[in-house]
Structure 1
Amino acid sequence: MAIVGEGDNRGRYARHARRLGVLNQISFLGGRGDIPQLLSAGDLLVHPAYDENTGTVLLEAITAGLPVLATDVCGYAAHIKKANAGRVLASPFEQSLLDQTLEQMLTSPEREKWAQNGLAYGRPELYRMPETAVDLIEEHCLTLRQDHSVAKPTLQQMDEYYRDDLKEALGNKAVFSSMMRTQGEAYREPEGTGRRTVRFSLANRHYFIKTHTGVGWKEILKNLIYFRLPVLGAMDEWHGIHHLQRLEIKTLSVAAYGTTGGMYNWARRRSFIVTDEIANSKSLEEFCREWKTHSPGSPGEIRFKRWLIEQVAVIARKMHNSGANHRDFYLGHFMLQPGYRSGQLSADASRLFVIDLHRMQLRRRTPTRWQVKDIAGLRFSSFFIGLTKRDRCRFIRTYWREITLRQSLGRTPNYWRDPQSLRNRLFWWRVESWAKKLQQAEERRGPDAQVGHAVQTAKPHAPH
């Protein structure tokens, strides 16, 4: 093995190699000036990063004609796809998928094609970037001089985005102040949150706009006292939507977004987010409620029920493995677009969406307690739909697919001697315990109270 480059950890790596008895098989080459030649001598560049803002080495490999295998968290991974110069693995990272793809690429007859694509892409695209950047900067400055007077910097910073089709339909109303005053069918306005959800129509299309007018310091302090993070605006939902889209989880589509208020003016921060309506859909809470009295009986209905359970488990697993947690993970926040084939429900023709991401949290790793709370939310909202023990086991087996069901439940022989089995057993005990607490809290509110999970009607989707 040849290791190229300098770094603070070179000595540590050498000592580690000596302890493993492989130091004589490794050459530390240090800093080199012939990187393009070294890259050209390779067969494949593997770059499985967990976190990488850019990844300049990806561009270096492409221009040297070296096929690349990378993860989608790399900032320059898009160039690999655009050039068709290798493969990009989707998040969350799975070692088995990396191993499988690596083996396929090393034996693939497409390696020569990827190399040629990279060389062809590098010449016209990458080396004209400085000129393109200059053109864009000059164009932007010219626009500023024509349309705006140069203003003094203030704390009232503003950031806006409008998708082309919505911007064209709005015309001169595509400004922050107009969007905050959007009128339509009011769906939800929780007291004390400064949040309002409205459904409106424009150019024969339907949208939802969620506006945030600032929660005030009183609400912020109340949340912090109870060790809860307050929802300060639409930014969390904006990031949450794009995070799920990167995971290839179906969710809302953003048509517009705007925020103002400055970084240090949290209590008065005003923002909005506009999403497309998920047409012809109903919440899973509403769809599954019929199972309580009319359990799926035909083979087609049973297959569709199993598909739904597995889809919810896969979504939960992908989300938690990527460092995200929903915080309102109830069946009412899954929207189903049912599809039919030959007059029967079809999994292939149906789509399942996750909505209401305004409280979503993103980290490098999801803490266990937040995994427990998310799964407990699902368990709580499934109390009323007649799930069987087999259904629950199917969910657990899909959520933790790397291990057997017995291992997932911590029911292996002599489990008390196995720390992992004990942790698994404790995990599901905590899920059941928290779900029962949610149920007790709902019962205390009374039958007519607005419970924590979404109460959906027959209307199209309504983000809360």
Structure 2
Amino acid sequence: MRRPYLRDDFRAAIEAGALGTGGREAQPVSASADGLFSALSEVDGDVYRQTARRKTFRIALADDVYFAKLHLGVGWREIAKNLLVGKLPILGARNEFDACRRLRDRGVPAPEVAAFGERGLNPAQRRSFVVCDALVGYASLEDIVNAWSASPPDPRLKRRVVVAAGRLTAAMHAAGVNHRDYYACHL
């Protein structure tokens, strides 16, 4: 396994034992990718999305809040399906890790990565994780638009929101990032 990326403040928090797992009291966690992957697999967090091969959840660590994603391998069928339609398969969390860092480097608002790691050579069974700072003080476009059904906005506000979403999308594309799962909840 390659050495994981751990931002200094995140490393200090996990090594100090701020990550509680499996209903147990928080214990220090090894800063290795294996140790962190195992701890994140057992952490008690608020699950936002979960499939058989991916889990997205919110965790509190010390006084900070993060979103973590665990990828458990996509399988050969998914790899073949993507290749047959001319797409590169998403094999794990590396795409998100690289995209967040690229966007931030170019001044495009994106979550800041606190940790990333991957293990396994077999692309169909590679396991990986990415942990990002929670975006505090932001509302997703999905939350904003859902409120509009009960109370429609002024058309000028609606237009400003659409223009802002377009500018963000253009900035992402200019930075070389193509979000393949681009729904209102991601804006």
Following superposition, the deviation at residue 310 of structure 1 comes to: 2.2
Aligned residue runs from structure 1 range 442-457, under 5 A:
none
Pick closer, same or farther for the CA change 1:162–1:323 going to 2, 3 Å: closer
Q: 2:49 maps to what in 1?
A: 188
**Deviates further, 177-186 or 162-171:** 177-186
Matches within 5 A, 1:226-237: 226-237=85-96
Deviations 1:348-401 (A, max 9, x none): xxxxxxxxxxxxxxxxxxxxxxxxxxxxxxxxxxxxxxxxxxxxxxxxxxxxxx
Asked if the contact 1:213–1:269 (Cα under 8 Å) also holds between the matched residues in 2, the reply is: yes
In 1: Cα distance, 2:14 partner to 2:149 partner: 45
Once residues 172 and 67 of structure 2 are traced to their aligned partners in structure 1, the CA distance between those partners, rounded to angstroms, is: 24
**Aligned residue among 255, 262, 271 for 2:114:** 255
Q: Distance in 1 between matches of 2:57 and 2:106?
A: 28
2:3 maps to which residue?
A: 159
Give the structure 1 partner of residue 180 of structure 2.
Answer: 327
The match for 1:268 among 113, 125, 144 is: 125
Q: Tell me, in whole angstroms, the C-alpha distance in 1 between the residues paired with 2:14 and 2:133.
A: 15
Partner AA of 1:314 in structure 2: R
Question: What is the match of residue 222 of structure 1?
Answer: 81
Instruction: Tell me, in whole angstroms, the C-alpha distance in 2 between the residues paired with 1:320 and 1:229.
Output: 17
Q: Report what 2:19 is aligned to.
A: none
Q: In the superposition, relative to structure 1, how do residues 205 and 324 fare at CA in structure 2: closer, same or farther (>3 Å)?
A: closer
Identify the residue that residue 168 of structure 1 maps to in structure 2: 12
**Which of 287, 299, 320 is the equivalent residue of 2:144?**
287
SS in 1 for 2:3: strand
| Superposition CA RMSD, Å | 2.1
8 Å contact from structure 2 (residues 57, 68) kept in 1? yes
- 2:18 corresponds in structure 1 to none
Deviation at residue 280 of structure 1 after TM alignment: 4.2
Number of equivalenced pairs: 170
Give the % identical residues: 37
Which runs of 5 or more residues in structure 2 are unaligned?
16-27
**How far has the Cα of 1:246 moved from its partner?**
2.4
1:213, distance to aligned residue in structure 2 (A): 2.0
Report the Cα offset of residue 203 of structure 1. Answer: 0.7
Q: Secondary structure at the match of 1:158?
A: coil
Residue 218 of structure 1 aligns with an amino acid whose one-letter code is: R
Pairwise CA distance, 1:180: 1.6
Change (3 A) 1:209 1:274: same
Structure possessing the higher relative contact order (Cα contacts under 8 Å, 6 or more residues apart): 2
* Kept after mapping to 2: 8 A contact 1:160/1:257: yes
Kindly provide the CA deviation profile for residues 105-157 of structure 1, in whole angstroms up to 9, marking residues without a partner as x: xxxxxxxxxxxxxxxxxxxxxxxxxxxxxxxxxxxxxxxxxxxxxxxxxxxx4
Q: Mark the structure with the bigger radius of gyration.
A: 1
Shift of 1:256: 0.7
Match of 1:378 in 2: none
Q: TM-score, normalised by structure 2?
A: 0.79
Distance 1:325 1:268 in 2: 24
Q: Which amino acid is the alignment partner of residue 288 of structure 1?
A: V
Verify the 8 A CA contact 1:254 1:276 in the aligned structure 2: yes
- For 1:116-155, list aligned pairs within 5 A: none
- Amino acid in structure 2 at the alignment position of 1:274: V
